[in-house]
Amino acid sequence: MHQSNDSGIGPSVGFPRIAWLVIILISLLIIVLHLASESTDAGQAYRSKISHITERMDAQVILGARALGMGSAVESSLQTFQSGSIDRRIRGVVLLGEVNGSEAAHAALLRLEVQMDEAGVAPDPEQHRVMESLGRIYGAATGDTEMPEDLRPAEQDLLVERLGWFGELALHSPGRDSDSVRTDPVAKARAVMIVLFVLIILLLGGFVVGLALLVVLVVLACHGRLRHALGPASPQDGLLAETFAIWMLLFLLMQYLLSLLFRGVPALQEYQLLLTGVIQGLTAGVVCWPVLRGDIWSRARRAIG
C-alpha cells in the first residue's frame, strides 16, 4: 500500500495509518484492562503491595524528619496513618510506638480495637493475631499486661510477613532491644530522608536551570536566531509507526505470558523484576523491523535514534 505525499518526497513506505490505528487501539485496551483489574484478586494484591511500599516510604520520611528535629511535621504526618484500611492503621500503631513510645502505641491499639467494634468491623484471622502480638509487645513494655514479652518464632514471622518493614520495627521497638539491634531499620529511615533532601535539591536546581534555558530559547526565538534541527522527511518514516505498533503488541504479549509464568511457577516470583526486565528488554529487537521491510540499517538507526 502506497500513499501519495504532497511534499515531493515520493510515496511513503509501509502502512502508517494502520499502524497508528493499532497503537490507539492498544492504548485503549491497556486502559480497559487496567480498569477491569481493579476488581480482580490480582489487581487488589498489586494495589496492596504498592500501598505497602508507599506507606513504608512515608514512615521512613517521618522517622527521618524526627531524627532531624522536625517535630511539628512528624505529628501532622502521623495523623495520616489513623485513617484508611485496617492494615494501614495497624502500621500506624507501630509507627506511633517508634515516635512516641510503647505507651502511646498501646493506647492507639486499644483505640483501634474500640473503633472497629463500634463500626462493626471484624479483623481477619491474621490481623487479629498481629494485633494480639502488638498488644503483647507494647503492653509488656508499659507494664499493662502480664503476658510474656517474647513472641514465638511463628508470631514474629507473621508480623514481618503481614507488616513488612513495620513488623521489623515492632519487633525492635524502643526499650525492647539494644540500640545496636535497632540500628538497621532506623538507619534506613534516616538514609531515605537524606536521599529525599538530595532529590529535592536536585529538582530545584534542575528547575532553575531549565527556567534559565527556557528564557534563553525564548530570547533566541524572538531574535530569529533559533533554528530547528529536524531532518527532511523520508518515505521510510511510515515504517517507524509500524515498528512502534509491533513493539506495543510484543510488550502486551510478554506481560501476559509473564503473568502466566509467575502464576504457574510461584518460585519464580522471587525473580519477577529481573525476568521482567530481561524479557521486556528483548522486545527492543523490534528495531530491526524497518530493515526486514527493506530499509537500510544505517538510515533506520538514525531515524530511531
Q: Note the Cα 107 to chain centre separation in Å.
A: 32
| Distance in angstroms (rounded) separating the CA atoms of residues 20 and 237 | 13
Contacts of range 148-155, beta carbons closer than 8 Å, 24 or more positions apart: 149/176, 155/129
Query: Is 275 exposed, middle or buried, given 0-12, 13-18 or 19+ CB atoms closer than 10 A?
Result: middle
- Kindly give the confidence (pLDDT) of every residue in the chain, 305 residues in length, as a single tens digit, with 9 standing for 90 and above: 444 444 444 455 667 678 778 777 877 777 676 656 555 555 556 566 677 778 888 888 887 777 767 667 777 788 888 888 888 899 989 888 888 888 888 899 999 999 888 888 888 888 899 999 898 888 765 555 444 456 788 888 888 888 888 888 888 766 555 444 455 556 666 777 778 788 889 999 999 999 999 999 888 888 878 776 666 666 666 777 888 888 888 888 888 888 888 788 877 777 777 777 788 778 878 878 888 887 777 777 776 66
Q: How far apart (Å, rounded) are the C-alpha atoms in residues 144 and 138?
A: 8
Place of cell 514512615: 59
Residue 101 grid coordinates: 513510645
